[in-house]
Amino acid sequence: MVISRKNIFAILLLALHQRTAAFAPSSLSRPVAVKTRCPPLSVEIDGIEFEDESDIDSPPAENYLVSVGELDDEDDLDGIEDDGVLPEWYQSAQRLEALRKEHRRHDKDTGSPEFQVAGMTERISYLTKHLRANPKDFSTRRGLVALVNKRRRLLNYLYRINPEKYASVISSLGIRHKSPGRVTDRAEKYSRYPGQKAVKKHLMKKK
């Protein structure tokens, strides 16, 4: 049997076509997004009977702890406790604001010695009351001591620059402060103490 070149070339092309078709992805394996439109359902609710909420058994009114009307009638005032007395921290904040307004030099004054001393004085009194109720609060005691020392230094500075203002501040705030005096020399400092007793003769060392 003699096969011509044309037949051999046709057979090779057919085999090559079948081989490439075998490796090609199948159309069945590809995901196909099917878009379906569902028409809205028409439901008739004329024949359905709903349960009346008034028919539901509810517990009697005396079983409730708080009624709705009692919550609406309460006065929501900031800083007022249940007993109607303002808390101590709120009263201290009000006094602090009043003292600062009283002793400031102008409306925007926030750093003058009088302004700082007035605020520190109220803060010191508040912390003193706190420590009387909580004597083991040592961190607050440490802060109180530092605050007292800072106020003392400010008062010393105010005494040097303006003695009249210093006197009015300590009198209005009721501060017990000893005004600083001038530095004395050694002889003047120890002159008020009695001299040393004379050494007895029998205790003196013989030369």
**Amino acid (one-letter) located at 98:** A
pLDDT of 179 higher than 90: no
R_g over Cα of the chain = 49
**Which range among 7-21, 71-85, 176-190 shows the weakest confidence by mean pLDDT?**
71-85
Q: What is d(CA 84, CA 143) in angstroms, rounded to the nearest whole number?
A: 31
pLDDT above 90 for 121: yes
Instruction: Pick 171 or 180 by higher pLDDT.
Output: 171
User: Which of 5-14, 46-55, 106-115: highest mean pLDDT?
Assistant: 106-115
The pLDDT score that the predictor gives to residue 155 is 93
Greater model confidence, 73 or 11: 11
Nearest to 88 by CA among 31, 147, 134, 157: 134
Which two three-digit tokens encode residue 79?
Answer: 């800083």
pLDDT at 181: 76
Task: Decide if pLDDT at 134 tops 90.
Answer: yes
Model pTM score:
0.50
| pLDDT mean over 52-75 | 63
- Please report the pLDDT score of residue 10 as a whole number: 81
Phi first, then psi: what are they for 77, rounded to 5°?
A: -105, 130
Closest CA to 115 of 146, 151, 161, 160: 151
Q: Does the structure show a pLDDT above 70 at 143?
A: yes
Rounded to 10 degrees, the C-alpha dihedral 54/56/62/64 comes to -100
pLDDT digits (tens, 9 = 90+) for 65-76: 666 666 655 555
pLDDT reported for residue 48: 57
